[in-house]
Amino acid sequence: MALARLGKVVPKTSILFLCDMQEKFRPNIAHFPQIVAVAARMLQVAQLLEIPVVVTEQYPQGLGPTVPELGAEGLRKFPKTCFSMLVPEVEQELGALPHLRSVLLCGIETQACIMIQKLIKDPAPDSGLLSLFPGQSPGFS
């Protein structure tokens, strides 16, 4: 089973991406309060373990700010207008973290934001990231 191969989260080589947790999605996303609650817990754990965090906002002028219950008030928000979290400002931020091997991803419409091929040059073999790319992991075909 593929999930049995998922390894431990190593804070020094991990990053948390919180994708587009914004007000305008609230009435249109099923289970929105639960999704935000899980993301908020992920953020709390990341902060306790000193895991870097990237928070993106899709077109914030139209879709509104990040929801307050996420608890990301003091974090920098990276605005974007594309369906990838890897905008130039995020790439620059990641440049200071050359040892990344694992990405923790949660949020809204994350399947559209998962353009992370360039994020990690050498993903940990047990991270589950390899399964995101067809032909690189037999666990998810």
CATH code assigned at 65: 3.40.50.850
Q: 10 Å Cβ neighbour count for 66?
A: 23
Determine whether 122 is an active site residue: no
Structure tokens, 66: 């990040």
**pLDDT tens readout for residues 37-47:** 999 999 999 99
The 8-class DSSP code of residue 107 comes to: E
In a domain, 140, yes or no: no
Complete DSSP assignment for 15-62 = EEEEE--BGGGTTTSTTHHHHHHHHHHHHHHHHHTT--EEEEEESHHH
CA distance 23 to 77: 14
Residue 26 banded pLDDT, cuts 50, 70, 90: very high
Task: For residue 82, give its domain range.
Answer: 2-130
Task: Quote the pLDDT of residue 136.
Answer: 39
In a domain, 136, yes or no: no
In a domain, 111, yes or no: yes
**pLDDT tens readout for residues 102-112:** 888 888 877 66
Determine whether 19 is an active site residue: no
The chain-wide mean pLDDT, for the chain, equals 80
In a domain, 112, yes or no: yes
In a domain, 138, yes or no: no
**Number of domains, the chain:** 1
Residue in 80, 82, 106, 121 annotated catalytic: 80
CA distance 74 to 81: 22
Could you tell me the pTM of the whole model?
Answer: 0.77
Q: What does the pLDDT average to over 118-133?
A: 49
In a domain, 125, yes or no: yes
